[in-house]
Amino acid sequence: MDYRVKLEGEGEKWLRLELVDVPLSLANAVRRLIINEVPTMAVEEVLVIENTSALTNEVLAHRISLIPFTTDLDNYVLPERCDCGSSLGCEKCSVRFSLRSMADKEVVSVYSSDLIRESGSEKVAPVSGDFQIVKLAPGQRVELELYVRLGKGKRHAKWQAGIATLYEEGGKRLLYVESFGQLPARRILLEAVKIFEESLAELSASLEKVVADGGGEG
């Protein structure tokens, strides 16, 4: 094996690699891991305490769930790997936010910047404060509790870390990775490779067990 990878370019949210002599199957596996398996944070549960806006609870919860959050991978675990087993999570698998807004005499636009973190890591916040959530007419109000948790793009696109594409240009094979903002592009790539290694180690352990057991003879 004589695989080489060259960094062709990098920005805050993207990077481009040249893959030299890396088989397409391997490059494609990494690409798919980036899209499907690298976890990021998004709102998983919304508790509606009050909602007199024009939006139904379901529509309001859906809009909020599409807000990407900067992700703290070092201090949180995936809910399925947490021992709390709670649907709202614990301090190891969930960050709690609240949203309380009301319109008095004038129309009020509620944005992601109005979300308040009630507990958990300061690294976790909406990627941008500019996502409009709802417009409140005079007299309307919303009060919500939100639970932000890690998840994977294969379960729902709201957790997808970014895009990853493979293409050929001038005889070079290139991998382009662009983050949606939850994690730096470099971290996305490193996590994908880590997940790849873990998957291979798991596969290898199962194979060794089968071989040691005599391939099913006993």
Residues that bind Zn ion (CB under 5 A): 82, 84, 89-90, 92-93
Q: Estimate to the nearest angstrom the gap between the alpha carbon of 170 and the chain centroid.
A: 33
Q: CB nearer to Zn ion: give 149 or 158.
A: 149
Which DSSP symbol is given to 21? S
Q: Which two tokens stand for residue 113?
A: 């910047």
Phi/psi of residue 55, nearest 5 degrees: -85, 145
- Minimum gap (Å) between residue 81 Cβ and Zn ion: 9
Q: CB nearer to Zn ion: give 56 or 86.
A: 86
- Minimum gap (Å) between residue 151 Cβ and Zn ion: 13
Q: Which two tokens stand for residue 40?
A: 């990021």
Q: CB nearer to Zn ion: give 40 or 179.
A: 40
Residues 82/91, Cβ–Cβ less than 8 Å: no
Residues 70/94, Cβ–Cβ less than 8 Å: no
Residue 139: left (phi > 0), alpha (psi -120 to 50), or beta?
left
Bridge-based pairing state of the strands 132-136 and 108-111: antiparallel
Q: CB nearer to Zn ion: give 89 or 151.
A: 89
Residues 72/121, Cβ–Cβ less than 8 Å: yes
Q: CB nearer to Zn ion: give 26 or 78.
A: 78
Q: What is the CA radius of gyration of the chain?
A: 21
The three-state DSSP-derived secondary structure of 118-185 is EECCCCCCECCCCCEEEEECCCCEEEEEEEEEEECCCCCHHHCCEEEEEEEECCEEEEEEEECCCCCH
Q: CB nearer to Zn ion: give 46 or 127.
A: 46
